[in-house]
Amino acid sequence: MGSNTYRLSAVLLAVLLCASALPQSVAADESTTEHFAFGMEYDWTNMNDDFESMTGLPLDDILADIMQSADDAGIEMVLLEELTGTSSVIIDQYEDGTKMFNPPDGSGSVEVTKHVTELTIRHGDVMDMAMITEWSDARAGWDLTISAGGGSLLNVDAYYVEYRDANGLIYGHDVDMSMATEQSFYFDLQGHLEADDGESVMPLNIHMEMGVDYSVDSAQSEIVYSEASELYQAMSALEGGEDLYWGIGEGEDNYVYWYGMDEADTYCEWSGYEYECSTESGSVDWDTWSDSYFECYWSNDYWVWDCYDSYYGDFYYYNYCEHYNTSGYYACTSDTDNTWEMEYYLYETNYEDGTNPPYANVYANIDYYPYCEYYGSLGEFYCTYDFDWDDDYENSLGWTHYEDGTSPMDDGEIWDEVESNTGAFATTTGFDFELTGLPAEEMGLPDGKWDVSASDTATDAGSFDEDFECEMGMELFEGTQMITTDGDQIEVMQAYTTPLPFGMTCHIANLFVHAFEGTEDAPTLADMIQDSTEDISESMGGESDSYASSDQLSIEAYTSGDEVDVYVESWDLNPDNNYEIFVSMTDSDGITQDARTFDVNDGWDSSWDHDEFYSSEWGEHCITAQLKNQGAGGSAPIDTVSTCIEIPKQPEPSALVESIVNGFSESTLDNVMENFGSNLEYRLEGYETDFPYDDGDMFVLWDTTNDMVVGFQMVVSTENSNLWYTLIGPESDSYGDAPSPVSVTYFSGQQAIAQEAEIIDDSTLEDLVDLSQHNDELIEDAIEESLADNSPEAGGPTEGEGDGTAEGADEESGLLPFISPAFTIAMFAAAGLVASLRSRKD
> Same structural domain for residues 487 and 556?
no
Q: What distance in Å separates the CA atoms of residue 701 and residue 704, rounded to the nearest whole number? A: 10
> Same structural domain for residues 610 and 731?
no
Average per-residue pLDDT in the chain?
A: 86
In this structure, are residues 726 and 713 in contact, taking their beta carbons and an 8 Å threshold?
Answer: yes
SS3 of 146-207: EEEEEEEEEEEEEEEEEEECCCCCEEEEEEEEEEEEEEEEEEEEEEEEEECCCCEEEEEEEE
Of 353, 380, 396, the position where a domain reaches its end is 353
Q: What is the mean pLDDT of residues 250-272?
A: 82
Q: Is residue 625 part of a domain?
A: yes
> Same structural domain for residues 5 and 120?
yes
> Same structural domain for residues 369 and 442?
no
- The total number of structural domains that make up the chain: 4
Q: What is the mean pLDDT of residues 329-353?
A: 93
Q: Is residue 660 part of a domain?
A: no
Q: What is the mean pLDDT of residues 175-200?
A: 95
Q: Is residue 737 part of a domain?
A: yes
CA torsion, points 290, 295, 299, 304, in degrees to nearest 10?
-10
> Same structural domain for residues 626 and 548?
yes
> Same structural domain for residues 57 and 85?
yes
Closest CA to 490 of 161, 117, 40, 38: 38
pTM attached to this predicted model: 0.71
Q: Is residue 359 part of a domain?
A: no
Provide the 3-class DSSP secondary structure of residue 241. Answer: coil
SS3 of 534-588: HHHHHHCCCCEEEEEECCCEEEEEEEECCEEEEEEEECCCCCCCCEEEEEEEECC
Q: What distance in Å separates the CA atoms of residue 322 and residue 291, rounded to the nearest whole number? A: 11
Q: Which helix (H) or strand (E) holds 661?
A: helix 655-666
Q: Which of 318-332, 583-597, 744-758, 794-808 has the lowest mean pLDDT?
A: 794-808
Q: Which of 7-16, 282-291, 692-701 has the lowest mean pLDDT?
A: 7-16
Q: Is residue 840 part of a domain?
A: yes
Q: Which of 243-257, 371-385, 397-411, 455-469 has the lowest mean pLDDT?
A: 243-257
Q: Which domain CATH number covers 632? A: 2.60.40.2550
* In the predicted structure, residue 669 carries a pLDDT above the cut 80: yes
> Same structural domain for residues 382 and 341?
no
Higher model confidence: residue 809 or residue 242? Answer: 242
> Same structural domain for residues 693 and 638?
no
Query: What's the pLDDT score for residue 30?
Result: 44
Q: Which of 277-281, 446-450, 617-621 has the lowest mean pLDDT?
A: 277-281
Q: What distance in Å separates the CA atoms of residue 239 and residue 242, rounded to the nearest whole number? A: 6
Query: What's the pLDDT score for residue 270?
Result: 95
Q: What is the mean pLDDT of residues 77-86?
A: 90
Q: Is residue 654 part of a domain?
A: no
Query: Predicted confidence band at 409 (pLDDT cuts at 50, 70, 90)?
Result: confident
> How many other CB atoms sit within 10 Å of the CB of residue 790?
20
Instruction: List, for residues 729-778, the tens digit of each pLDDT value.
Output: 999 999 999 999 999 999 999 999 999 999 999 888 888 888 777 777 77
> Same structural domain for residues 275 and 309?
no
In this structure, are residues 676 and 668 in contact, taking their beta carbons and an 8 Å threshold?
Answer: no
Q: Is residue 658 part of a domain?
A: no
At 727, which amino acid appears?
Answer: L
* In the predicted structure, residue 454 carries a pLDDT above the cut 90: no
Q: How far is CA 651 from CA 565, 620, 648, 724, 836, in A?
A: 21, 17, 9, 64, 20
Q: What distance in Å separates the CA atoms of residue 836 and residue 824, rounded to the nearest whole number? A: 18
> Same structural domain for residues 125 and 88?
yes
Query: What's the pLDDT score for residue 264?
Result: 81
> Same structural domain for residues 670 and 805?
yes
DSSP structure class, residue 616: S
Domain that holds residue 315: 287-353
> Same structural domain for residues 191 and 323?
no
How many angstroms separate the first and last alpha carbons of the chain? 63
Q: Is residue 46 part of a domain?
A: yes
Q: How far is CA 616 from CA 565, 585, 653, 722, in A?
A: 15, 12, 18, 78
